[in-house]
Amino acid sequence: MILTNRQSDKVGIYLRLSRDDGDKIESDSIHSQRDLIKDFIGRNPAFRYKKEYVDDGYTGTNFDRPGFTRLMEDVRKGVINCVMVKDLSRLGRNYIETGRFIERIFPSLGLRLVAINDNYDSLDKNSGDNDLVVPFKNLINDAYCRDISLKIRSHLDVKRRDGQFIGSFAMYGYEKDGKNKNHLVIDEDAAKTVELIFQLRLNGYSAQRIAEKLDELGMQPPYEYKRKQGLNYNSGFKSADKPTWKRETVMRILNSEMYTGTMVQGKSKRINYKIKKSLPIVPEDWIVVENTHDPIIEKPVFDMVQELAALDTRVSPERTGVYPLCGFVKCGNCGQSMVRRAVTRCGKKYYYYHCSTYKAGGDCTSHLISCKKLEEIVLRALKRQIELLDKAERMISFLSNDSGDRSGVRLIRDQKEKLMAEIERYGELKAKLYRDMVEGLIDRKQYEELNSRFDRSRSKVEESLRTVEQREQVLVNNQLRFQPWVENLKRYKDITELSRSAVISTIDRIVVKNGDDIEVHFKFEEELLELARYAEEKEDERDDMRQLYEKSC
């Protein structure tokens, strides 16, 4: 029972609410707690109100709360000598920690604790019920909190797997949809900065140089930008003085697949409901849902930026960007990367690539080649690819204007008919072979040998038919001409100088066997060969049709 005949003239009332603990707003709101406690004090003159302490939105699973911290400071200063709460769950829901405060810390400080709805008064030494009831109630509060925590986590996981955004703040470049807080929409102003960051990266800028460039352009870093938008946003990248872009901020943006329209969540997990600390989760277990929001960065661009992470992208002090071929040049002997080095002769610097294995004293030769010469070779190779594409496209465009069924599709279909006829012929041969064995014209051994030979031959023809059918599908839909790599390559039609972005988007690797034997491998080699082959087939077919027409005349 609460002893109303024992005076406490310095009462501090403590109010707490947290929906994370499953607290009901209707019954446990700060307003209702305050009214209940003040009404109780008003009806009991032995208690005199001194001060109020509030933690609105703080969990009861720990005592790291600003209002409770101020309360304990005032207790130690003697400002208050009694704490009054609506019930013990307002004080805390952690069974062990709440018990420690009630049984050890408060008594040692001479602090009286009153919980109105639980009819608890720490000065009531005559009631033995409290020795059993209070710990039991604390245990129930703890178990209730654990149960609510599990339900909340399960509910959030369902929303994550459904592709709904559950974060408190949208990542830089996006904002929460005003009609649906679990959906992201593009923030046009911030999105322009994100696009610039990716473009600078493709142009060879390091993350540190990108950060410096953004500062030079006066771009607000994410923390400052969100604060200016009126969001109560806190970040580990906050600057103590003038807000500036950090390398870590740039890298976080460059590595975020969220910018491609893919929702990536569940990267970390709380240890348990009592501890705020989170542990990272391996990428294989992240919750990833594609096409949940509009992309700022196209997937091919994002993938190219990720590929750069594995390349040699060191930047010399006198440059703002990476050299065009860094990370792409491989030794034709050992397969390792070739590195750039400078040689000074007669006061003039010359630059070369040489094998990194040789440089480290390994078993390989230098494969030394001038940077200037290599860049010229690569530029010529790129121009040849562009010319080949241009020629193939012009030829296809011209031939596709022919009337009737005189197209590459007809040629493919003719090939299909021949292959299907051949497959049917092998079927007839196998049937005839079986009849010959039944009639005694050949023995069992001869039959099995010839039948096996026919099966192998038919399998090869069937494989050829599948290949032709795949090519037919590509040609019928005219898909090949509109692959992303085609437009990407055509962007560099008028290129006169090799750039980092051109190398990144078109070249797979450059193999240096010796000074005169250089192999430039493009990302789209097979596709371009297929396109050129198609154009040649159409041209040959047109010539054949023309000859037939001339003979018929």
List, in sequence order, the alpha helices (H) in 14-91. Answer: 25-28, 30-43, 66-77, 88-91
Helix (H, G, I), strand (E, B) or coil at 178: coil
Angstrom distances, CA of residue 210 to CA of 191, 437, 487: 16, 79, 27
Q: Is the pLDDT of residue 379 over 50?
A: yes
**Would you mind telling me the total number of residues written for the chain in this entry?**
553
Spatial distance between the Cα atoms of 162 and 308, rounded to a whole number of angstroms: 32
What's the token pair of residue 453? 């030979």
Residues pairing with 55 in the sheet: 16
| pLDDT band at 514; cut points 50, 70, 90 | confident
Are 334 and 323 a contacting pair, CB within 8 Å?
A: no
> What pLDDT, in 10s, does the model give residues 182-191?
899 999 999 9
Helix or strand run (H / E) with residue 511: strand 507-514
Q: What is the pLDDT of residue 196?
A: 93
Rounded-to-10 torsion of CA 503, 507, 513, 515: -30
Angstrom distances, CA of residue 37 to CA of 42, 53, 133, 231: 9, 12, 22, 34
Q: Is the pLDDT of residue 256 over 80?
A: yes
Q: Is the pLDDT of residue 553 over 70?
A: no
> What pLDDT, in 10s, does the model give residues 78-107?
999 999 999 888 898 777 788 889 888 999
Are 233 and 167 a contacting pair, CB within 8 Å?
A: no
Segment among 84-88, 138-142, 470-474, 520-524 with least mean pLDDT: 138-142
Q: What is the pLDDT of residue 38?
A: 92
Q: Give the closest residue to 462 by CA, choosing from 419, 418, 415, 412.
A: 419
Q: Is the pLDDT of residue 51 over 90?
A: yes
Are 344 and 334 a contacting pair, CB within 8 Å?
A: no
Question: pTM for the full model?
Answer: 0.50
Are 173 and 261 a contacting pair, CB within 8 Å?
A: no
Are 480 and 530 a contacting pair, CB within 8 Å?
A: yes
Rounded to a whole number of angstroms, the CA Rg of the chain reads 38
Helix (H, G, I), strand (E, B) or coil at 153: helix
Domains in the chain (CATH in brackets) are 8-152 (3.40.50.1390), 174-308 (3.90.1750.20), 383-552 (no CATH)
Q: Give the closest residue to 298 by CA, choosing from 490, 499, 487, 493.
A: 487
